[in-house]
Structure 1
Amino acid sequence: MNFKAHLDQFPVFQQVAKAGKNLGIPTYLVGGYVRDLILNRPSKDIDFTCVGSGIALAQEVAKGFDYHVPLSVFKNFGTAMLKLEDWELEFVGARKESYRHDSRKPIVEDGTLQEDLERRDFTINAMAISLNEEDYGELIDPFGGLADLQKKNIRTPLEPGITFSDDPLRMLRAVRFAAQLNFDIDSDTFFSLTENASRLHIISAERIIDEVNKIVLTPKPSYGFKLLFASKLLHEFFPEMVELQGVDSVDDKSHKDNFYHTLQVLDNVCQVSDNLWLRWAAIMHDIAKPATKRFNPKVGWTFHGHEDKGAKMTPSIFRRLKLPMDERMKFVQKLVRLHLRPIALVKDEVTDSALRRLLFDAGDDIDDLMRLCRADITSKNNKKVQRYLENFDRVDQKLKEVEEKDQVRNFQPPVSGEEIMEIFGIPPSKVIGEIKEEIKEAILEGRIPNDPQVAREFMYQIAQQKGLTPISKSNL
């Protein structure tokens, strides 16, 4: 197979080929770009390997342009990078690697192209295209990567036990590629995942979560998570999710398998949103069900308070997984805590007060909360699902009507603590918070409108009951 016609469309490939010829070193296009080219997938990251110095090759390529091209050199790694418009070109010399059992950092030596390709993770990433004059554009495929692409198969170039033991991160990459490309994992390769799962302990949490997030961002992440579970990789870094799996039965009363329910909710969310953190909210929404599971002979299995318990668990899980501890974590935590609230609002007799409270608590995240709640409707009974979705349509309409009337989605107390202190001449104290809370409750309950003037009048009534006398009513 020859790719000369493709290479000729982009002058950068001729530029690299010319630089390799000038230096007298064999040069090749390798890795993910070759894979994606065959799969007809767009790619802007291009890796080049040469049998020589990758840094020297990059410097020669940069010299060939009649304008400045940013060049980054990483001497410790023997690599260099060029940024060319929206392309990112990486250059490295062909190398062979060996590993110590307690580290995924290889001992690197100069090597041949064959040795460079065999050290790669999977056959589909162990192909090269020649940029040399005598066979320009020819595919080099020593491990059957093309056939594996055609069979949609993930397989290691060497014996998988060696590949995964050397660099255990490749086990997560196997699952990630399977999920991204919708490929199968070769049976011997998959067996080796299970055999080497415990080796993940030498991989940093940052590296692990980077691969996991790529799985979460696939169109149907349930496939990747099922592979993680079946291979026991998930057990190594996310035991709380593993604990969701399984069904208990007492007196013919059973609960649903919350692991597979969670995956269905995750897939449902993915149909309506690319938001990584909304997807994490789907993963986390029932995370506390194992901890709150109880059997009541009258009603069967219950999970009372799992939403609050799950919200409390969220920060510690995020911290351990090295997920961000900022507003993104708080967003997930909020949705976990609130995910049952809209379900209680599907009744026709729901009050405006309950709607205002939900809008107040959810704020700008109300739309994402409703997306999560819709995704949480999982049943084999399509009529039941449709009935619940129609109920949520009514809740959506009610929320819009209440928000238009009362404007509490981004509710801010119409009377500030500073204003209360100034009017009554008091220092910071507990009573200020009590007054603000009573004003907020009155607005949410609908006893007074969300209006600053009315709220101040109400403030004076509350203050009088508490024995406070204003210094001046000039602010009224």
Structure 2
Amino acid sequence: MNLSNSLDKIKTFKKVGQVADNLGMETYVVGGFVRDILLKRPCKDLDFVCIGDGIKLAKAVADALEGKPQISIFKNFGTAMIKMDEWELEFVGARKESYQNHSRKPKVEAGTLAEDQERRDFTINALGIGLNANNFGELLDPYDGVKDLKRKIIRTPTDPDITFSDDPLRMMRAIRFAAQLKFDIEANTFDGIINNAHRMSIISGERTIVELNKIIMTDKPSYGFKLLFVSGLLKEFFPEMVALQGVDSVGDKSHKDNFYHTLQVLDNVASRSDSLWLRWAAIMHDIAKPPTKRFNQKVGWTFHGHEDKGARMVPGIFRRLKLPMDERMKYVQKLVKLHLRPIALVNDKVTDAAVRRLLFEAGDDVDDLMQLCRADVTSKNNNKVKRFLANFDKVELKLQEVEEKDQVRNFQPPVTGDEIMAIFGLKPSRVVGDLKEEIKEAILEGHIQNNKNEALELMYKLAAKKGIVNNPDK
């Protein structure tokens, strides 16, 4: 197969080939770009392998390109990168690798092209295209990667047990590629993942979470999670999620399988939003159901308080998985804590105060909360689904009406702590916080309007009851 017509569309390939010929270096574009050009997928990362010094080739290419783009050199790795418009060009010399049992970091030596292709993780990533004048556009496919692309198969070029034991991160990558490309994992390759799942212990959390987030961001993330679960990888780094799986029964009373329910909620969110953190909220929303599960003879299985306990579990899980401990974590924690609140507002007897309180606590994330709540409706009974979704329509209407009337989303009490201290000559103290909190509660309960005049009037009344007098200097 010759792909010169595809390469001709990108002038860079001709230029790299010309420079390589001038240096007398065999050079190929390899890996993901070749895979994606055959799949007709976009790819902006170009990986070049040469027989020789990759950094030397990169420097010569940078000098030959228009505008002489900036080059970054990584001597320790023997690689160099050129950024040019939307493209990233990485250069490396062909190499062979050997591993020690306790580390995924290989001992690297110069090698042949065949040895370089052999060390690749999967057959579909072991493809190369020649760039020299004598083989420009010629496809090199020593492990039938093109056949695997047509069959939609993820397969290792060599013994999967060795491939995955050497670098266990490749197991996560196999599942990530399967999820992204909607491919199957070949049986022997999947057995290799099962056999080596315990080797995930040598992989850093930072590396693992990068691959996991890519799985989460696929069109249907449940597929990747099912592969992680069945292979045994998921329990190695996310046992809390594995604990959701299973159904307990007492007599004729059972509960649903919360693992597969969570995956359905995740898919539902993924069909509506490309927000990674809303998807994480879907993953975490029922995470505390196992530790809160109880059986009651009258009502069956209960999970009382799982939303509160789940919110408390979020920081620990984020920290262990090397997820960000910042506003993104707090966002997920908030949605987990509040995800049962909207359905309680369906009742016609619910007061505006309850609606105001949810608006205040959810703030700008109330729309995302409602998306999560809608996604949480996973019954196989279509009539039940329609009824629940119609209820959420009513809740959203109530939220809109109360917000337009009272404007409490993200509101701050109209009287600040500094003003209270100045008016009454107080120092920072509990009494100042109590006054602020009582004013806030009065607004949320609808006892006063959300404006400064009514807030000040209430503040003076509350202060008088507490025996606090005005600052005589005011």
1:76-475 alignment runs, 5 A limit? 76-471=76-471
How far residue 6 of structure 1 moved from its aligned partner, in angstroms, is 1.3
1:25 Cα deviation from its structure 2 partner: 1.0
Which amino acid is 2:97 matched to?
E
| In structure 2, distance between residues paired with 1:366 and 1:420 | 30
Q: Which residue of 1 aligns with 2:10?
A: 10
Query: 1:139-194 deviations in whole A, cap 9, x for unaligned?
Result: 10000100000000000000100100000000000000000000000000001101
* Structure 1 residue 471: Cα displacement: 2.6
Q: Secondary structure at the match of 1:271?
A: helix
User: How far apart, in 2, do the equivalents of 1:473 and 1:261 lie?
Assistant: 63
Deviation for aligned residue 1:271: 0.9
Identity %: 68
Alignment TM-score, normalising by the size of structure 2:
0.99
Compute the RMSD of aligned alpha carbons. 0.9
1:65 Cα offset (Å):
2.3
1:35 aligned to 2:18?
A: no
Give the unaligned 5+ runs of structure 1: none
Supply the distance in 2 between the matched residues of 1:196 and 1:67 (Cα, whole angstroms): 48
Q: Which has the larger displacement, 134-143 or 225-234?
A: 134-143
Q: How many Å separate the matches in 2 of 1:104 and 1:321?
A: 19
| Runs of 4+ with >4 A deviation | none
Instruction: Write the letter of the residue equivalent to 1:238.
Output: F
Q: Higher mean Cα deviation, 417-426 or 300-309?
A: 417-426
Structure 2 distance, partners of 1:397, 1:47, is 53
CA deviation profile, 1:186-210 (whole Å, cap 9, x unmatched)? 0000011010000000000000000
Q: Which amino acid aligns with 1:252?
A: D
Distance in 2, matches of 1:299 and 1:63, equals 75
Moved more, 5-14 or 186-195: 5-14
User: 2: CA distance between counterparts of 1:319 and 1:174?
Assistant: 25
Question: What's the offset of the Cα at 1:408?
Answer: 0.5
SS at match of 2:314: helix
CA-to-aligned-CA distance 1:287-320 (integer Å, 9 cap, x gap): 0000000000000000000000001110000000
Letter in 2 for 1:85: D
1:405-451: per-residue Cα shift (whole Å, max 9, x none)? 10100110111111111111122221111111111111001011001
CA distance in structure 2 between the aligned counterparts of 1:84 and 1:374, rounded to whole angstroms: 44
- Partner AA of 2:405 in structure 1: K
The one-letter code of the counterpart of 1:235 is K
Partner of 1:104, secondary structure, is coil
How far apart are residue 472 of structure 1 and its match? Answer: 5.8
Distance 2:303 2:351 in 1: 26
Q: List per-residue Cα deviations over 1:361-382 (Å, max 9, x = no partner).
A: 0011101111101100110001
Aligned residues: 474
Deviation track 1:43-80 (CA, whole Å, cap 9, x = no partner) reads 11000001111111111111112422101111111111
Q: CA deviation at 1:136?
A: 1.2
